Amino acid sequence: MDLSTNYLGLQLPHPLMAGASPLVDDLELVQRCIDSGASAIVMHSLFEEQIRGEALARTHYGEAHADSHAEARSYLPGLDEFRLGPDEYLERIRRIRALSSVPVIASLNGTSEGSWLRYARSMQEAGASALELNLYELETDPHESAAVVERRALEVVQSVRAVVTIPIAVKLSPYYTALAHFAGALERAGADGLVLFNRFYQPDIDIDALEVARTLKLSERSELLLRLRWLAILSPQVKGSLAVSGGVHEAEDAIKAIMTGAHGVQLVSALLRRGPEHLARVLSDLREWLEQHEYDSLEQMRGSMNLKRCPDPRGYERANYVQLLQSWRFELD
Amino acid sequence: MARFITVDGNEAVASVAHRSSETIAIYPITPSSSMGELADEWSSKGRTNLWGQVPEVIEMQSEAGAAGAVHGALQAGSLATTFTASQGLLLMIPSLYKIAGELTAFCMHVAARSLATHALSIFGDHSDVMACRPCGFALLASGSVQEAQDFACVAHAATLEARVPFLHFFDGFRTSHEVAKIEPLEDATLLAMYDERALLAHRSRALTPDRPSLRGTAHNPDTYFQAREACNPFYDACPQIVERAFERFAQLTGRRYQLFEYSGAPDAERVIVLMGSGAGAVDECVERLNAHGARVGLLRVRLFRPFALERFAAALPASVRSIAVLDRTKEPGALGEPLFLDVLAALREARELGLAHWSGEPRVIGGRYGLSSKEFTPSMAKAVFDELARAKPRNHFTVGIVDDVTHRSLEWDPNFEVEAADVVRAVFFGLGADGTVGANKNSIKIIGEETELYAQGYFVYDSKKSGSITISHLRFGPRPIRSSYLVRRASFVACHQFGFLERYGVLEYAEDGAVLLLNAPHAPAELWDELPREVQQQILDKQLQVWTIDAAQVAAASGMGNRINTVMQTCFFAISGVLPREEAIAKIKQAIAKTYGKKGAELVERNFAAVDSALAHLHRVEVPAAATSKRGMLPPVSPKAPEFVQRVTAAIVAGHGDLLPVSAFAPDGVWPTGTSRWEKRNIAAEIPVWDASLCIQCNKCAELCPHAAIRAKSYDAGALAGVPGTFKSTAARGKDLPGSHFTIQVAPEDCTGCALCVAVCPAKDKSNPRHKALDMLAQAPLLAAERENYAFFLEIPEADRAAVKLDNKGVQLLEPLFEYSGACAGCGETPYIKLLSQVVGDRLLIANATGCSSIYGGNLPTTPYTANRDGRGPAWANSLFEDNAEFGLGLRLGVDALTREARALVAQLAPALLPQALAEALLGAHVANEAELREQRARIDTLRRALAPANSPAAARLAQIADYLAPKSVWAIGGDGWAYDIGFGGLDHVLSSGRKLKILVLDTEVYSNTGGQQSKATPRGAAAKFAVAGKTLGKKDLASMMMGYGHVYVARIALGAKDSQAVKALLEAESYDGPALVIAYSHCIAHGYDLALGAEQQKLAVGAGAWPLYRFDPRRAAAGEPALQLDSGAPTPTLAQYMRGETRFRMVEQADPGRYRSLVAQTERELRERWSVLEQLATPRPAATTPSTKS
């Protein structure tokens, strides 16, 4: 069965890849992902904000008390010896690249244009096969309009496009007012593909301590549905690649994503829960399903259920609330 | 052109030593620590020695250990070295005798420092080195950074050939810490200096089973003496070997040195003989005096041992008529100090041997100078020359102090100046935390390495660890700078903290017409009016050119936080005229790029922005014609302070301690307690403000305050008479409180602004949780009112100790007898000491190991241990670092002896002189709580009254020691460096003794005071000096080891995690009739995070099992229960989260994430294992059952 796919111009044996997760921090786990057949390894984001914050904090705590007392030059060992955020990240790209020929997709979340360019270039130099730009920022400024936010994102894509030659994917959040329009603009700005969607830390509240608690829960399969809808909507429209991220746990989920137009399928929570070897099971289930259902190739089903080709496009559109409730009740019976 | 570097003496020496050694065993001690640290840093970077090998650097448990290790390494045939000072050198002495006695080629480097006598001092003199005279080491003295480097090389070279071990020394701080521009020694030079055959010979003497031999035999009277004399030829030959090494060195480098080096008039009649850095000042004086027609000279002693008589005689000018020998040490009771006596002997012997080429018998006087880095200036040297010119010069004089007791001090003329006009002299006043010293070191580097100018920097620190002042003394000039003393008249003076102007004589340093740079939070036009009148007058009198910048604002706007260093450095270059402005700015930026390039582009950009913005915000201030200010400078201490504090403490606080005469001090080092309350430092920008309506009266704020600067009191309404208008009071909550009212009050001038109290405050406004019962607000607007409120608060009667429930909450209502120390803002140690002072109160004797707790506990000017209204309070003493447990035990034994004596006297004097009932009550009293203590003290008062009419010696003796009939509590306090490492043997022994000594270990898991070197308490995965890549092995489990004895009360506590357990543990330890060990988790600046979150980290540490809480009480075992009680839960999988919050761990993770993960995993495993052992120990054993007879 031909499961091959072309994602961002990368010819991959199949669409199942290890998505952005802490797995990549451990080379042994990465090796297990590769051994399980992952078609690509997506690095988790290099958060510019974190790097900057850590560099400043480290320098602050290293220097704050230096040369302040006669008995000590400093209170922590010299910091020169320690690699900083980007170096650590770049080194990891190199090491994963050295493990096998599986493509490595580096990911970047920046907050200033300078850092986007600097880090993007470094990632390419370190051997990244493609870049995933994690554009999400939480916009809390009441004076900033959606248009400004979108324009800034497009500028980032344009400028990164200008400095790297490797393919660029843009990982989006679902919270855009006019996502279909924005997706087109991103392509025109130079994006080779889109990843749907980012998942975030969600603040929770500790009602006793009156504190905000940060949580990140692993995805549930139910989250796939939002992604399927947008894959279906964007699939007929975009020229580049689409990938799904969030809610793919079993082969059935992957099949749905591919049917709605995905070129790449990123697994994260399922691998964190069940180990990297789960990818091999999903892959074999996928192959088996295609064989059982007598598909010629994976390509045959890609986009079969998108907005343009599915039997009833209204299913993806709004105003189906009542029907859903009815069907829901039906299921309960 | 020769290559130049700017380094301090320690780095210059360490560079040579590291390249010339294979094995380096050290133990940190000020001021030598950085030599070992640098060596370790270089080795961890893979830097090799001259022979391509990376030297192994090992930190030992003490200097005695380091000396033992190098002794072994040398015997094994390797090239070894060590670095030390002061008490550390004393601890090495036994090994030094061995190393010398075995004729071992060995060179060690000593940053010479005072010894602890009447007081400890970290500063420089030759007391330590002089204690080593008889060891058989060659003693080679260098006197400047350049010399220190050069002599390090010469010493390593000479010892190989001589087989006499060398102790190369240089003055602690003055040379070890002075940053200077020097010509570095290249590898090729070093290699050319070291004799290959001598190296092979050293190897050939290695102790090896391949050529077995035996050393360390024991001799009898028949052989020891003559065998001891067998080494003589080596000592005879040693001076010539050094001389040849100096000659070889001169050929290689052009720098020429001699064993005894004379400079000055060839026909000098008066000569000063001395060694070390003081020669720089004398040299300048000699030049000046000779230029004005005098005939004086200086004889520098380079090689003090072996003393080369011939060379000494030859070096003295034939014209010499009188000699003053200056010793930088004191030998009480001796006929004179060592160098003086040697010179006397040398002159006599030279005469006998016909080596005296001078006519007549020169008059010789000896004097002491420069103890503990006391300033030694050309003016003082002139005073010595003047004394030599007198008809009857005084012998055994001192210079540099005013001795109004034995009148031995020489007077000197403070206006005698020799500094050249073409030398730029600059003085900077900064705050420890504002980066001033670092920026100045950077400026010296820029000027020293990028221009033709020579540069020198010396940095003076006060002894506080929070809000400390630094004074930087910089010189830049066209010639090498010899001035081995502080700048006194500067052409540029900068005050980086505006508040200093009203406290310290900043402008005393300015010469007429100098440039004055002020960092001020005021607009240029308003600045003048903000200056104290004295400052205005000095500006006018000296016609100073005044510039100002609001550096805090510029730094903040550039994203630099409170680091004003780059801003102020830019201003210095812009207006000091040291370099052309444009050139200087370009060089600053280059330096920034170099320093921060590796640390992140963001840092470079922010610093660049700060440079540009500094230039835009620097303004010249128009100086009016007359002083107009109504405000004067602040007095250094409160006018209400006692006489001693007014006379002595105030002078030290104001920076005028040098002017205090001998009579100001007790001759035995005794000092009053309770003086910190008189120094109001006002260092907090923000202070906590209390909202009584939200407060739940948990007292955690007071409990964790490191400085006793926020306090709780419960009192009755009557106490509120005359209350200030803004004083806050509320109804007391709960029945346990001793009064009906309650107040939390901040000491606004003593608070350091650490915000720990606010971080631990659990009481939030339900509608606006951002607002808590404590919020940090700007201090300035609150100061006047809160000062008045605090004064009122202190007058409210203290809680009755007998009436307060002794739990974590209640204890905080008791008066702390440890307050306002100079500990770091947010310190994790001091809350425990304060708590102990509250729990044990006024019957506490403390033996304090040297370290942070002895510095904030007893470093002048002020003393934080204080007394209550009865005049009772902790009595405190610091003996040494290594002997503290033994010292504490000695205190216990001494107290017990006096108690026994008092009891015996009571028994003896009753019933004749004492009512039998009183005697019985006194002897039979059971004192287990505050009420019983009070009763016993009342009986003692009655006893004294009963004894008053009696006129027998026994009655007088009893009256004197009657207080010992009430129990005293003896605690030994110290850090982990003491308890786990250097003092462990003593601690172990003392605990094993079963005596009633209590030990409190303030465990910061690292040597805090000397700057973050690893101890055996350092946990796996933490970076520390000597474990730069993160410690591989786990933390030593001291508590478990001591639990093994069975009879020792042991507890591990963490106040920020579980205060109730901590208080319980201290109370149990105190009440236990035997030895107790309490190990307290103490967060520390060496952990690298905001210490306001210290309690938070403690909770995480406890939760993760990194710091399990438990109490092991032998009394419970006696009662048939498990002695061990666990007070925290099983480790949760949060270790990584705990560790991630601290730089010490995080930097290891970043350096090597894979290795870090395995270290964390290993630690998790180990913590679980240790926990399961603890759990087993804490599980009640099933009652023994009768063995079954069935089979």
Q: Are B1099 and B1019 in contact (CB under 8 A)?
A: no
The answer for residues whose C-beta is within 8 angstroms of residue B333's C-beta and 6 or more apart is none
* Chain A contact set for B438 (CB, 8 A): 63, 66-67
Using the Cβ of B771 and the Cβ atoms of chain A, whether some distance falls under 8 Å is answered with no
Q: Smallest Cβ distance to A74: which of B470, B769, B1011?
A: B1011
Binned at pLDDT 50, 70 and 90, residue A117 comes out as: confident
Instruction: Give the distance from residue A96's alpha carbon to the nearest chain B alpha carbon, in angstroms.
Output: 13
DSSP B360-371: S--EEEEEEE-G
Q: Which of residues 545-574 of B touch A (CB under 8 A)?
A: 561, 563
Query: For domain B259-410, which CATH number applies: 3.40.50.1980, 3.40.50.920, 3.40.50.970, 3.90.1580.10?
Result: 3.40.50.920
* Chain B contact set for A59 (CB, 8 A): 596, 599-600, 603
Question: What value does the mean pLDDT take over residues B107-115?
Answer: 98
Residue B565 known to be catalytic: no
Using the Cβ of B1085 and the Cβ atoms of chain A, whether some distance falls under 8 Å is answered with yes
Q: Which of residues 1100-1129 of B touch A (CB under 8 A)?
A: none
* B96 residue type, one letter: L
Using the Cβ of A214 and the Cβ atoms of chain B, whether some distance falls under 8 Å is answered with no
Res A57: pLDDT: 80
To 5 degrees, how large is the angle CA B1052–CA B1055–CA B1056? 125
Helix (H) or strand (E) holding B711, with range, is: strand B710-715
A87-91, B466-470, B571-575, B1160-1164: least confidently modelled range:
A87-91
Using the Cβ of B429 and the Cβ atoms of chain A, whether some distance falls under 8 Å is answered with no
Q: Given an 8 Å threshold on Cβ–Cβ distance, is A67 in contact with B470?
A: yes
Q: Given an 8 Å threshold on Cβ–Cβ distance, is A59 in contact with B1144?
A: no
Question: What value does the mean pLDDT take over residues A312-328?
Answer: 58
Res A333: pLDDT: 36
Res B573: pLDDT: 95
Q: Is the pLDDT of residue B1185 over 70?
A: no
Question: What value does the mean pLDDT take over residues B696-713?
Answer: 98
Global ipTM: 0.91
Instruction: Give B839-890 pLDDT, tens digit per residue.
Output: 998 999 999 999 999 999 999 999 999 999 999 999 999 999 999 999 999 9
B620-624, B1159-1163, B1178-1182: least confidently modelled range:
B1178-1182
* B845 residue type, one letter: L
Domains B424-620 and B681-814 share a fold: no
Q: Which of residues 81-120 of A touch B (CB under 8 A)?
A: 81-85, 88, 92, 114-115, 118
Question: What value does the mean pLDDT take over residues A252-262?
Answer: 97
Instruction: Give the distance from residue A221's alpha carbon to the nearest chain B alpha carbon, in angstroms.
Output: 27
Mean of the per-residue pLDDT values of chain A:
88
Domain ranges within chain B, ordered by starting residue: 5-206+231-252, 259-410, 424-620, 681-814, 886-965, 1004-1178
The answer for residues whose C-beta is within 8 angstroms of residue B390's C-beta and 6 or more apart is none
Residue B113 known to be catalytic: yes
Cβ burial of A260 (10 Å; 0-12, 13-18, 19+) is buried
From B11, B63, B284, B1068, the catalytic residue: B63
Instruction: Give A136-180 pLDDT, tens digit per residue.
Output: 777 888 998 999 989 999 999 999 999 999 999 999 998 888 999
Q: Smallest Cβ distance to B41: which of A64, A72, A78?
A: A78
Instruction: Give B995-1032 pLDDT, tens digit per residue.
Output: 999 999 999 999 999 999 999 999 999 999 999 989 99
* Chain A contact set for B1089 (CB, 8 A): 61
From B10, B30, B570, B743, the catalytic residue: B30
Q: Smallest Cβ distance to A80: which of B598, B766, B1086?
A: B598
Owner of token pair 């991220």: A245
* Chain B contact set for A76 (CB, 8 A): 1012, 1023-1024, 1086, 1088, 1143-1144, 1147
Q: Given an 8 Å threshold on Cβ–Cβ distance, is B600 in contact with A73?
A: no
Q: Name which of B988, B993, B996 is nearest B971 in CA terms.
A: B996
* Chain B contact set for A51 (CB, 8 A): 600
Q: Smallest Cβ distance to B1088: which of A76, A84, A85?
A: A76
User: B687 has which bridge partners?
Assistant: B777
* Chain A contact set for B1009 (CB, 8 A): 71-72
Q: Smallest Cβ distance to B603: which of A56, A78, A211?
A: A56
Question: What value does the mean pLDDT take over residues B403-427?
Answer: 95
Binned at pLDDT 50, 70 and 90, residue B994 comes out as: very high
Q: Smallest Cβ distance to B468: which of A68, A92, A211?
A: A68
Sheet of B80-81: strands edge to edge? B56-59, B23-26, B80-81
Q: Given an 8 Å threshold on Cβ–Cβ distance, is B437 in contact with A67?
A: yes
Q: Smallest Cβ distance to B561: which of A58, A60, A74?
A: A60
Q: Is the pLDDT of residue B288 over 80?
A: yes
Distance CA(A75)–CA(B1008), nearest Å, equals 7
Q: Given an 8 Å threshold on Cβ–Cβ distance, is B1143 in contact with A58?
A: yes
From B1009, B1010, B1018, B1163, the catalytic residue: B1009
Taking 3-state DSSP, the helix, strand and coil percentages for chain A, each rounded to the nearest 5, stand at 45, 20, 35
Q: Given an 8 Å threshold on Cβ–Cβ distance, is B1086 in contact with A67?
A: no
User: What is the CB neighbour count within 10 angstroms for residue A2?
Assistant: 13
Instruction: Give the distance from residue B1014's alpha carbon to the nearest chain A alpha carbon, in angstroms.
Output: 10
Question: What Rg value do the Cα atoms of chain A yield, rounded?
Answer: 22
> For domain A5-332, which architecture applies?
Alpha-Beta Barrel (3.20)
Query: Most A CBs within 10 Å: which of B599, B860, B1142, as the mutation test of the A interface?
Result: B599
More confident of the two residues B575 and A118:
B575
* Chain B contact set for A79 (CB, 8 A): 599, 1147
> For domain B424-620, which architecture applies?
3-Layer(aba) Sandwich (3.40)
Name the residue of chain B whose CA is nearest to A53's CA: B602
Instruction: Give B1100-1138 pLDDT, tens digit per residue.
Output: 999 999 999 999 999 999 999 999 999 999 999 999 999
Instruction: Give B389-408 pLDDT, tens digit per residue.
Output: 999 999 999 999 999 999 99
Binned at pLDDT 50, 70 and 90, residue B1184 comes out as: low
Q: In CATH, which superfamily holds the domain spanning B5-206+231-252?
A: Thiamin diphosphate (ThDP)-binding fold, Pyr/PP domains (3.40.50.970)
Residue B869 known to be catalytic: no
Q: Is the dihedral of CA B60, B65, B71, B76 positive or negative?
A: negative
Residue B415 known to be catalytic: no
Q: Smallest Cβ distance to B1147: which of A27, A58, A74?
A: A58
Distance CA(B215)–CA(A244), nearest Å, equals 77
SS3 B1135: helix
Q: Given an 8 Å threshold on Cβ–Cβ distance, is A64 in contact with B1085?
A: yes
Instruction: Classify domain B1004-1178 by CATH number.
Output: 3.40.50.970
Instruction: Give B483-538 pLDDT, tens digit per residue.
Output: 999 999 999 999 999 999 999 999 999 999 999 999 999 999 999 999 999 999 99
Res B561: pLDDT: 82
Percent of the residues in chain B that have a pLDDT greater than 90, as a whole number: 93
Q: Given an 8 Å threshold on Cβ–Cβ distance, is B600 in contact with A76?
A: no
Instruction: Give the distance from residue B178's alpha carbon to the nearest chain A alpha carbon, in angstroms.
Output: 12
Mean of the per-residue pLDDT values of chain B:
96
Q: Name which of B505, B461, B456, B506 is nearest B485 in CA terms.
A: B456
Q: Smallest Cβ distance to A69: which of B461, B603, B1150?
A: B461
Percent of the residues in chain A that have a pLDDT greater than 70, as a whole number: 92
Res B1: pLDDT: 52
Distance CA(B332)–CA(B343), nearest Å, equals 19
User: How remote is the C-alpha of A69 from its chain's centroid?
Assistant: 48
Res A79: pLDDT: 59
Instruction: Give B932-966 pLDDT, tens digit per residue.
Output: 999 999 999 999 999 999 889 999 999 999 999 99
Q: Is the pLDDT of residue A326 over 50?
A: no
For the domain made up of B681-814, the CATH class stated in words is: alpha beta
Long-range contacts of B281-284 (CB under 8 A, 24+ apart): B281/B376, B281/B377, B281/B378, B281/B380, B281/B381, B281/B482, B281/B483, B281/B484, B281/B485, B282/B378, B282/B381, B283/B482, B284/B378, B284/B381, B284/B418, B284/B482, B284/B483
Q: Given an 8 Å threshold on Cβ–Cβ distance, is B1012 in contact with A57?
A: no
Instruction: Give the distance from residue A323's alpha carbon to the nearest chain B alpha carbon, in angstroms.
Output: 43
Question: What value does the mean pLDDT take over residues B1146-1172?
Answer: 92
Name the residue of chain B whose CA is nearest to A119's CA: B601
